[in-house]
Amino acid sequence: MKSFRLLAPFAALALLVSACGGADEDPATDSAPWAVNNCALIADYTGADEPAAGSTIEGAVAVASTDDSAPTISIAAEATPATSLQTIDLIEGTGDPVAAGANITVEYCGVGLSSRKVFDSSWSRGEPASFPLSGVIPGWQEGIPGMKPGGERLLIIPGPLAYGPNPPSADILPDETLVFVVTLISDDTPKPLTQAWAISDCTEVGGGTGANAPAPDSTVEGPVAVAGQMEEAPTVSIEADATPATTLQTIDLTTGSGPEVAAGASVTVQYCGLGLTSRRVFDSSWARGEPVSFGLDGVIVGWQEGIPGMQVGGRRVLVIPGDLAYGPTPPGAGILPDETLVFVVDLLAIDS
């Protein structure tokens, strides 16, 4: 399944949790006054008497940036660990500032203040990173809000707000102060529609049309309405005053006539997932053009408990409270923290 797969909970932020490997320090450059790092590479820094040309110097950290290119970060040899979070805007963006917990897309580079080396960089991987701020280290959760799209910010994060004594990689030292240069590309936080109903076609991820009534020919179950025939992509409408679920709800729109699913079975399904608060589709097998097969013992709890009892040929609606879905750390920008999720599931087969 795609990035919003049901098969695993959010593996907190590759950019901050799975740091890339680097080479051993070069004794010949380790004592140089400045360590100059090109964020396009995970490699040894270059020792120099001065920071990179054109740098903006903030204490023991210097950053040289050019449009659409990886920055160069220089760290002075006498740099001392930070005791508080420092944020410096190198470029002011435009538009609305990012809020706490937002879903964002960024380019970024991380350097250890003590090692003076790059430990991770989206520029080195050749593509931006997207994630919710709710799932990253406290230094990002506190240091990114207030940025505007197009802006570039320097974060100097003390060890207790980074990884503390247990870093995720040998390339980050225990309790090390971390330096990040972050370019905010976009704020991807879903913007709820304001009309009485939000109507979404499950052939498209992210869309949605505001309306005063649910889609025609819908079966209405509380704040959720579903239109469409079995094995065709449904149209799902969600009411504006929908309140988060506190328990798992299952509604059979079509009762199948085939075998019944047991707990832990492997199944083949078509499905569509929407956020009850965002009222938008965040994932859909119909949008990808093919059904999905997986074992129920590897998916979120709401599916483990909500699919057993279905019969092949049936269509079921699952309304899953946040604590049985992804909780405070959702797997991508399309799901809000602790959000109630709505799924429409067509059971095509039980796999041996």
CATH number of 197-351: 3.10.50.40
In angstroms, the CA 290 to CA 303 distance is 19
In angstroms, the CA 178 to CA 196 distance is 46
Beta strands 281-284 and 249-254 are unpaired
DSSP three-state, residue 308: coil
R_g over Cα of the chain:
24
In angstroms, the CA 304 to CA 262 distance is 10
Name the maximum alpha-carbon separation found in the chain: 77
Q: What is the DSSP letter of 261?
A: P
Closest CA to 133 of 102, 154, 160: 102
Backbone phi and psi for residue 143, each to the nearest 5 degrees, phi listed first:
-95, -20
Shared fold status for 14-187 and 197-351? yes
Written as tens digits, the pLDDT of the chain (352 aa) is: 333 333 322 223 334 443 333 334 443 346 789 999 999 999 899 999 999 999 999 999 999 997 778 999 999 999 999 999 999 999 999 999 999 988 899 999 999 999 999 999 999 999 999 988 888 999 999 999 999 999 999 999 999 999 999 999 899 999 999 999 999 999 987 666 789 999 999 999 887 899 999 999 999 999 999 999 988 999 999 999 899 999 999 999 999 999 999 999 999 999 999 999 999 999 999 999 999 999 999 999 999 999 999 999 999 999 999 999 999 988 876 788 899 999 999 999 999 7
Residues 6+ apart with CB under 8 A from 125: none
In angstroms, the CA 299 to CA 6 distance is 5
Q: Where are the beta strands (DSSP E) in 6-148?
A: 34-38, 46-48, 56-58, 61-64, 72-76, 86-91, 103-112, 118-121, 129-132
CATH number of 14-187: 3.10.50.40
**pTM beyond cutoff 0.75:** no
Domain ranges of the chain: 14-187, 197-351
For 153, what's the count of Cα atoms within 13 Å in the CB-facing half-sphere? 26
Residues 6+ apart with CB under 8 A from 156: 58, 61, 82, 85, 86, 87, 88, 113, 177, 178, 179
The DSSP-derived string for 156-209 is: EE-GGGTTTT--SSTTS-TT--EEEEEEEEEE-------SSEEEEETTSSS--E
